Structure formats: structure tokens, C-alpha cells
Structure 1
């Protein structure tokens, strides 16, 4: 089976969109425990700019995208900067791949689905490579359909950290998708970003670009990728000093970055009908997990309501104290000012 006909699933797909560092990883983990959900964690973002800029690839080209590290990902992994989200055991002597050559799709996505991600990768290869040329979104639908068929799932849900950066592109590719917007107090999200290497590089690169009169965040509002994006990334990472770039951003820079992403996301969500958008405040999930997770699963589709799953996952989230409250008052005030536009739009007290 090599055509898109096999990709029709019984439930429309779901995109979990967020700023990152807001609890979306936990939501993805909880959904992965549901027997009918294909929980795709960190699928799109690790693929790099070509995840959105290819037009009509054939299966061979898509397989190359899935298994070749982008310039940005390679620049970080080759120096040993593997973030906690990575699930592939690259440091196991029996592992097929190391950090510098592991395929992007096996870093998080496939280990999230299977205890034997290498076997799953091998099973996917002939299916993907045999496909004819078709629009990029149809290639993804076919791939996700393959995984759903192989694993006996009825709906796919994709979550990558920071996907509000790509909300316009994802919603253009998947106009049928429902959207779950996961968010938390931006001051706590910013503090978490400041401790995460990939976010430090990203925000540092944005800060450096602005010093040169460029605004890389303009791309966040674009609804399609540019074929030149991959070339630009290769050039940038060939000269970028990653350690110095990661050291550039201040806590307020992360706060402004978080707020900008929230505003971009809310702008995009304004056109969605109410039955296609669910806003999930992470603090509410921590405080009342059973109610919020039941609401989430019924939003995806009422037929997915599952008492055994709900009993299991409702016991996992736990309330946590807001860390930004522990900052000295001057730092707390500065961070609040940086986050203020996004906080106000989401209804958080300043």
C-alpha cells in the first residue's frame, strides 16, 4: 500500500501547539497511554526547516528528511548537547546510532511509540520510500497513517515544543485538524526556557539577528516554508558559535520571546471555530487532572472516553509551586514586564 487512500483515520487529527516548556510534553506522554491515540512527540521541529519547505517530495526525498539531521540539529548534537526530551538510547553501546548520526525521527518520535524504535524505523522504510511524488502534507498523512495502522491507533496527535512558531504552517497543511493550545504562566515558562539548551540557542540566535537589523520572528506568521530556509540554516550554523549564542539571552529575553509566541498563536487561533480549539491551562491540569484530562479526551473525540485510561493518567499530574515567585523582587518585576502582553491576553494576574 503506497497511496494516500490508506491514511483515512476514523477521527480528525489533533495538533498540540504551545510555546514549549509549558507542560505539553507531559500532556503528550499522558495521551501516549491511550490505546487508540498515536501520540507523535517532537515529530516536526527536529526535522528542521525542510519539514515545512518541501513542496511535492517523493518517498525517497521524505525518507531522507526523516533520517538526515538538519544543520541546526547536527550542530548541537555533534557537540553533545542532547536535551532531556531525547528518548533514543544513543549512548548505549548496542545502539545503532550515536548522537551525531541518529535520524531525527528516532530521537524522540519513534521511541515514544515503541520499545524497539529501530525495528519500527526499519518497518517504515519500505512503505515511505515506495511512495510517489505528492504534496508534503499528503506524505505526512500517509506516514502517520502507516504508523496508526501498524500500532492499531485511530487518531494521530502531534506535539513538538515551541510549535506556536509553526502554527500557521501546520494549520495550512492540516486544515482539518483540531487544535489543543497548552499554556502556562509565561514567567515560569521563561525560567524553564532559560535552563534549556535548545531554547537558549534559539533565543540567542534571535537576539543576535536583531542586532544585525533582522527579524527572524517574521517567519512565525508565514503559512508556508521557504525552500531557501534550509540553505540559510546551513550557512548560519557553519559560522555560529553555539556556546556564545546560548550565553546571550537574559531572563527577560525569554519572557519577551514567550509573550511574542503567545500573541502570534492567539492571532492565528482567532479564525478557528469553537469546536476546533481547546485551550488547556497547565496549572488547571495540575490542580484538577481528572476533569481537565476528561475534557481533553472528549474534545479529541467523545468515542475515546476511557475510564481505565482516565484513572491511570489522572493520578500522574501534581500541583507545583510557581518558581518565578522565588526570584528576588527586581528580577520578578522585570520578568513580569517582559511577559506582560501575553500574560494579559491569557488572563494571568500581573
Structure 2
């Protein structure tokens, strides 16, 4: 059985990691977690790479990622065991696909990395989408899976590009009440850094949210990234503090940008997954999720197992003072209305 590519798109901090982990437990689903975002702009910088050029994309840090890692900014979801005596890499030279994606698939992630190097480097020049399709299908065949699903945190930032790269993809949009999402963002240093970079870009006259609507396949965005890097001081940015309402505005702007992109999809290629609904009725929601990917993937044993994973949690934004709740709700209001949350 072969199915269309599946992309999980979201703002991040909304339960998409949990969905990726749940799908990873299905015997026929290859769950690719944090594959594209760690690659940065380089992921889409070459329209038709050779095998060696493709491997460079997968294995070498972009200037932005290198600067972040050198300043001690490591993705919280990182799975590579840097403290292990057998670890070959440090945060300063970790290949992007080894930070999360390959350890998410297997404990033998370094052996898999070496295997993929030989496989990818032997490829001829061909369109970028074909290179990714070949890699993902090779991994699916290796682990005897029928479908691959990619999820990266904050993937709304690259949604237009991913949908241009995979025009036949089905999309799973995972979302959560923006007020709780904003609270989670405020406690995550990557989003603090993102907010600082967005504000700095705006001060330089660059409308980042407008840029998210445009697919970028080619070197232009990578050149822009290199041009902007001297203006960013990640060591200083990661220590910046922002009012909670700024994270609410960030979330709402991401929802506005992402929703405009999702609106271009046919209804049968889009599934909206509400985090709170998965918590309240996991069996119903997860069965709908797997059927959306393909009815042939229905699996009673898998459903019995993974339905035990989601657990209801309290809404933390409700614990804020009344003034803080009102201010945060106002900041999130445009996105909340689009998703149908009560104000």
C-alpha cells in the first residue's frame, strides 16, 4: 500500500509532538519528527541537488543553527545522547537529521546515519522533491512502513514551501487554545529566540509573516538568512524577556498565516486535530486521525495502546489573574475566532 505524503502542520507547543509519537507506535507508519525545521533554509535552497549536495543539506548545520548551538541553544525536543560515551557528535557539529529525526526512529541512529550517507551520496541529480521522496520511502521500506508522516514544531513557518514541494500531501493541522499555547511558548527558549528575531527583522523592514505565505524553493531565502545573521546576537536574544501578550500575538499571527495557506487545500486533504478533543476522547479522535491517513491503517491493538497516552490537563491560562487573562485573550483573539474557541 502506498499513500500520499502526510504533513503535520502547526504553530508548535500545541501537542503535535504527542501526535507524532503516537503515530510512531503504529506498525505501518514512519513518523519523521523534526526533520525539516532543523535543516533551516538549506532544506529548500537547491531545486535539483546531486546526491552529495543533498547529503550536505542533511548533514551540515546552517549558519543560523550553528550560531544557536554555539550559544547553547539546544532544541528541548532533542533526542541525540550528547552525554553518552559513544556519542560521535557535540552540539557544535551535530548533523541536523541526527538531532531528533533519526533517534526518533531507532536507537541505532548513528549506524542509520552512516547507511543513509552512502545511499544519498550515490543519488544522481534530480528535483528536490524526488530526493526527499526517495529518502523517506527508503526509510519506510527499511522499517516496513507503508506511509511517512513528517512533523516539525512551528511548521506553519514553512507550510507554503512544504505544500509546493509535496503538492499531493494530506495535511493534519494540530492546534490548541492559543492562550495555553502562548504560555507554553513563553517557557520555551526557541520561541523566545524566534520572537526576538521576528522583532529584529521587523525593525529592519522585513515582514516575516508576509514571507510565510510565499513558497521558497531556491537559494534566495538562504542568501537572505546569511545577509541578516550579522544583525542577530543569539546569546543576547535568548536572555530577552517578553510580555506574555507578545507570545499571544505571535501565536495569533501564525494561525492567521497558516490558516490562509490551509484554505487553499481541498477539504479531503485537510484534517483539523484539536488538542483538547484528543485529551477528552482519544479513541474517537485517534481513530479519525488514522482513517484520514488511510482507512487501511485501522489497527485495533494500536488504538487500544495509544488511547491510553493522552490525559486531560488543566488549562493553565485560567490560573492567571483576571487582568492577565483578559490581556492574553485580546492578544489571541483573531486566532481564537478562526479556530472557534470561546473568548
TM normalised by structure 1 equals 0.95
CA offset at residue 343 of structure 1? 0.1
Aligned to 1:142: 134
Q: Structure 1 runs of 4+ off > 6 angstroms?
A: none
Q: Which runs of 5+ in 2 are unaligned?
A: none
Aligned to 1:93: 85
Equivalent residue for 1:174, pick from 166, 174, 177: 166
CA offset at residue 51 of structure 1? 1.1
CA offset at residue 150 of structure 1? 1.1
Q: Which runs of 5+ in 1 are unaligned?
A: 1-8
CA offset at residue 248 of structure 1? 4.9
Q: Distance in 1 between matches of 2:204 and 2:71?
A: 26
Which residues in structure 2 correspond to 1:186-265 (within 5 Å)?
Answer: 186-246=178-238, 247-265=240-258
Contact 2:75-2:190 within 8 A present in 1 as well: yes
Aligned to 1:58: 50
Give the SS at the match of 1:48. helix
Aligned to 1:116: 108
Question: How many pairs does the alignment contain?
Answer: 342
Equivalent residue for 1:126, pick from 104, 108, 118: 118
Aligned to 1:10: 2
Q: Distance in 2 between matches of 1:211 and 1:264?
A: 20
Q: Distance in 1 between matches of 2:21 and 2:230?
A: 35
CA offset at residue 164 of structure 1? 1.0
Give the SS at the match of 2:149. strand
Contact 1:37-1:157 within 8 A present in 2 as well: yes
CA offset at residue 342 of structure 1? 0.4
Aligned to 2:304: 311
Q: Distance in 1 between matches of 2:64 and 2:83?
A: 21
CA offset at residue 249 of structure 1? 3.3
Deviations 1:111-150 (A, max 9, x none): 0001110011111111100111111111100110111111
Deviations 1:185-226 (A, max 9, x none): 011111111111111111111112222332122220012245
CA offset at residue 332 of structure 1? 1.4
Aligned to 1:334: 327
Contact 2:34-2:100 within 8 A present in 1 as well: yes
Equivalent residue for 2:284, pick from 283, 291, 312: 291
Correspondence 1:77 to 2:72: no
Q: Distance in 2 between matches of 1:209 and 1:271?
A: 27
Contact 1:204-1:248 within 8 A present in 2 as well: no
Aligned to 1:6: none
Contact 2:42-2:222 within 8 A present in 1 as well: yes
Contact 1:207-1:248 within 8 A present in 2 as well: no
Query: Please, what is the CA RMSD of the aligned residues?
Result: 1.3
CA offset at residue 21 of structure 1? 0.3
Contact 1:207-1:249 within 8 A present in 2 as well: no
CA offset at residue 239 of structure 1? 4.3
Q: Which moved more, 1:282-291 or 1:327-336?
A: 327-336
Aligned to 1:301: 294
Q: Distance in 1 between matches of 2:288 and 2:233?
A: 45
